Structure 1
Amino acid sequence: MSHEEIHRSHRVGWLRAAVLGANDGIVSTASLIIGVAAASTAQEGVLLAGVAGLVAGAMSMAAGEYVSVSSQADTENADLAIEQRSLEDDFESEKVELARIYEGRGVEPVLAHQVAEQLMAYDALGAHARDEIGISDNGTARPIQAALSSAGTFTIGAALPLVVAWAVPRSLLMILVALFSLAFLALLGAIAARAGGASITTGAIRVTFWGALAMALTAGVGQVFGVVA
């Protein structure tokens, strides 16, 4: 009977960007709406601020993810270029180096040398990238994927509190946006934890706590400036 585990590490790249985008979309837009509403702004002004925050936030998330992940990709490519030159200059020394890495992980010297020899005969650069540098196919930087995931999920996340702000009466706007946004955050945390194989309860509480704190602080700022105005 065969047994095959289900691993989730291959999801790390897009899952991180997607969760970050959705979380920022909900928290930043809900906080912006609550802060502006706390300053006694009319509902039209609140909605306008929310839409502006959605557009600006989505573009910021896309640009930020693309730049940061591109920097990671540049570093990985530079390391791979160095390793490729080392393989071309002294293949045998690189084989010894790889064997010592396996020895350090508990493999017997003779077997470690055999493993290094066979892996390098199959894919020398791939073996060194994975076992010496720590670059694997699952963790390879993908700037465009990260940018699109982050911007897309930010837009979806930001639209949720914005729809609530549009649908409810002005008198109930702050409290309902806050309550619905906290529910959205709890759901997001649970889904992200489920996708990553972590505790659903912990994921939901963690995301909800920081979202509630952000909304409370922004509401306080809005009230202060509303009183000053």
Structure 2
Amino acid sequence: MTHSGEPHSGALSGRLNRLRAGVLGANDGIVSTAGLVIGVAGATLASGPIATAGFAGLVAGAVSMALGEYVSVSSQRDTERALLAKERTELDEFPDQELDELTAMYQAKGLSQATARQVAEELTAHDAFAAHADVELRIDPDGLANPWHAAGASALAFAAGSLLPLIAILLSPPHIRVTVTFVVVVVALAVTGAISAKMGSASIARAVVRLVGGGAAAMAVTFGIGKLIGATIS
């Protein structure tokens, strides 16, 4: 009756994971919108098409991120609920076997057979379902992810990231708008890359190089394509 589930690592870890997801969502908004507006700027100096493309990309990207997150979290929540329901049924129908199973799991963690049995019995007497949900399923029944919250946070993070290159390119003089936007985006990616790496205890230098390199390449490619298309249709 061993199941897999999302690891429960505490409230602090959960907040850090959500914050890191927000940073990554903002990165997506920065890179995708920067590539879009710089690509259009390569084709035209007019602000109207750039603003239209940028805001359209912001809205479309935010909606897409929200839908994807909603579907993903909803699927995860449904799976966790199904596992919890199955565990409740097993506890009702096979209480002795479930007690033995809980004892074995505590033995596997390093407790002696006698101590593991005592712990299992005391936890079962207090709240058998909570004990199995925690140790066996690694699920907090009261802490299931809310798909609406996840969708909203994802859309907000993407939109916030998208606004940076959009504002930079629209407020800059036409003859330097691409350069200014490129610099702003590179700096933003370096900062968010360092933050996400620090939260994940990863190499900051590697994360920054990866994000900045990828973002710079995306902007260069879209600008080149915009230039080519602009020259072709003009």
- TM-score range (shorter-chain normalised) is 0.7 to 0.9
Q: Percent of aligned pairs with the same residue? A: 47
- Between stretches 13-22 and 62-71, larger displacement belongs to 13-22
Cα distance, 1:38 vs structure 2:
1.8
SS for the counterpart of 1:170 is coil
TM superposition score normalised by structure 1: 0.87
Corresponding pairs, count: 224
For residues 140-181 of structure 1, the C-alpha deviation after alignment (integer angstroms, 9 at most, x for no partner) is 422122112111121111111111111112221222211111
Instruction: Return the match for 1:159 from 151, 158, 163.
Output: 163
Cα distance, 1:211 vs structure 2:
2.0
Q: 1:19: which partner in 2?
A: 23
Contact 2:99–2:120 (8 Å) recurs in 1: yes
Partners of 1:220 and 1:118 lie apart in 2 by: 68
Contact 2:105–2:135 (8 Å) recurs in 1: yes
Name the Cα RMSD after superposition: 2.4
Runs of 4+ in 1 over 6 A off after TM superposition: none
Question: Residues 128 and 62 (structure 1 numbering): CA distance in 2 closer, same or farther, change over 3 Å?
Answer: same
SS for the counterpart of 2:39 is helix
Structure 1: which amino acid aligns with 2:60?
Answer: A
Structure 1: which amino acid aligns with 2:57?
Answer: G
Contact 2:189–2:208 (8 Å) recurs in 1: yes
Structure 1: which amino acid aligns with 2:71?
Answer: V
Contact 1:17–1:149 (8 Å) recurs in 2: no
- Between stretches 139-148 and 124-133, larger displacement belongs to 139-148
Contact 2:20–2:199 (8 Å) recurs in 1: no
Cα distance, 1:7 vs structure 2:
8.3
Structure 2 unaligned regions, length at least 5 = 1-9
Q: 1:115: which partner in 2?
A: 119
- Between stretches 29-38 and 188-197, larger displacement belongs to 188-197
Please tell me whether residue 211 in structure 1 is matched to residue 215 in structure 2: yes
Cα distance, 1:123 vs structure 2:
2.3
Q: 1:131: which partner in 2?
A: 135
Question: Residues 21 and 80 (structure 1 numbering): CA distance in 2 closer, same or farther, change over 3 Å?
Answer: same
Cα distance, 1:27 vs structure 2:
0.7
Structure 2: which amino acid aligns with 1:221?
Answer: I
